[in-house]
Amino acid sequence: MFKITLLPGDGIGPEVVNAAVKVIKLVGERFNTDFEFKTCLMGGCSYDAHGTPLTDEVLGECYSSDAVFLGAVGGYKWEDLPHQLKPEAALLKIRKALGLYANLRPAKVYEPMLSYSSLKEEILKGTDVLILRELTGGIYFGQPRGYDDGKGFNTMIYTKDEVVRIARKAFEYARVRNKKVASVDKANVLEVSQFWRKVVIEVHKDYPDVQLQHMYVDNAAMQLVRDPKQFDVVLTSNLFGDILSDIAAMITGSLGMLPSASIGSKYALYEPVHGSAPDIAGKNIANPIAAISSAAMMLKYSFQMDKAAELVEEAIENVLTKGYRTKDIYKEGDKLVSTDEMTNNIIEEFDTVCANHSLNVFTL
């Protein structure tokens, strides 16, 4: 039995989390696995109920669960609150509290969505990149930091332990993918990058079956749009990863399709990349695919249910191939569907996919 803490949050968060839960429940039935869900408040809804965007009780629930699944937080209503009470403050707090140091952002293009990218189809076809970003160190947290009338400053710092643990994750993920890691740095200019590179080379000695390449961040940004197929796992620090993951995300199309995972040594949190989209909340038009695909990541990375994750992804791709589109990805000639209809289509397709694989009940 796996216990999942659900944090639907604000705006479209509850709508897309609801969609993901429906899919997870069906996976549970087909794969003979029990999932227990506990829904808690986080973000603006928590502020309204408790005066804080994340309570210690909710963190306690997260600590006692096998995985945390988040929708999105934030909205117009809470924009003028002091910084520490804003819904978004809960995001930093939960990542820190759960020690989520590795952020995984897959950039994989569904075949039927090739024409939605700003890149040419032949450049994009076959792209399957995993951007692995260090999430709790680097310049976003380094001290000293500040500014006065004459200067502004931040500190880009990495300890050996921080680089070792994220590098290990990169090599381990690459091992079960295409066995290539591109470590991104700016070692031609920054000492912190020279250190990063030295440590990555040391860690690589334990993974001789994985190919390691080093790339300067400016070149990596160019290569991601020039020839994204060349990459398998891209290992980056916090700042560089923030930028590169958004580049990689956008080459694949819409915000409503992008899943993510944030993983630590003990806990893991899964969430769609998009925000709470207050402009479309409550209208049953949000795209649930990012959330459903994040659920597939949870099945794979937290529950080792790789086959189930693969079949969920296959169901999503088949539904897109059949022409079903929510409003954000709709073009003339497509079949326009609501959040609920898209979810139900994926659910039905998942059953078909299970039948096609001649498997009705799986075991772990």
Residues that bind ligand NAD (CB under 6 A): 12, 16, 72-75, 88, 91, 255-256, 271, 274-280, 286-287, 290, 328
Nearer to ligand NAD, 200 or 342 (CB): 342
Tokens representing 110?
């569904």
Instruction: Check if 76 is active-site.
Output: no
Catalytic hit among 48, 66, 128, 246: 246
Of the residues 140, 179, 216, 327, only one is catalytic, namely 140
Catalytic residue among 86, 169, 186, 300: 186
Active site residue 56: no
Phi then psi for 4, rounded to 5 degrees? -115, 125
Q: Verify whether residue 331 is a known catalytic residue.
A: no
Least separation, in Å, of the C-beta of 80 and ligand NAD?
A: 12
Least CB distance to ligand NAD at residue 148 (A): 28
Q: HSE (CB half, 13 Å, CA atoms) of 294?
A: 38
- Tell me, yes or no, if 140 is annotated catalytic: yes
Residue pair 45/13 in contact by the 8 Å Cβ criterion: no
CB atoms within 10 A of CB 109: 22
Distance CA 320, CA 318 (A): 5
Sorted by sequence, the CB contacts under 8 Å of residue 137 that are 6+ apart come out as: 101, 157, 158, 159, 162, 237, 238
Closest distance of CB 328 from ligand NAD, Å: 4
Catalytic residue status for 125: no
- Compute how many other C-beta atoms are within 10 angstroms of the C-beta atom of residue 266: 9
Beta strands in 161-258 (DSSP E): 180-185, 211-216, 233-236
Cβ-based nearer residue to ligand NAD, 133 or 204: 133
Shortest distance in whole angstroms from residue 105 CB to ligand NAD: 12
Q: Which CB, 203 or 337, lies closer to ligand NAD?
A: 337
**Residue at 332: amino acid letter:** E
Catalytic residue among 66, 128, 242, 340: 242
As measured in angstroms, the least distance from the Cβ of 269 to ligand NAD is 10
Where in the sequence numbering do the catalytic residues fall? 140, 186, 218, 242, 246
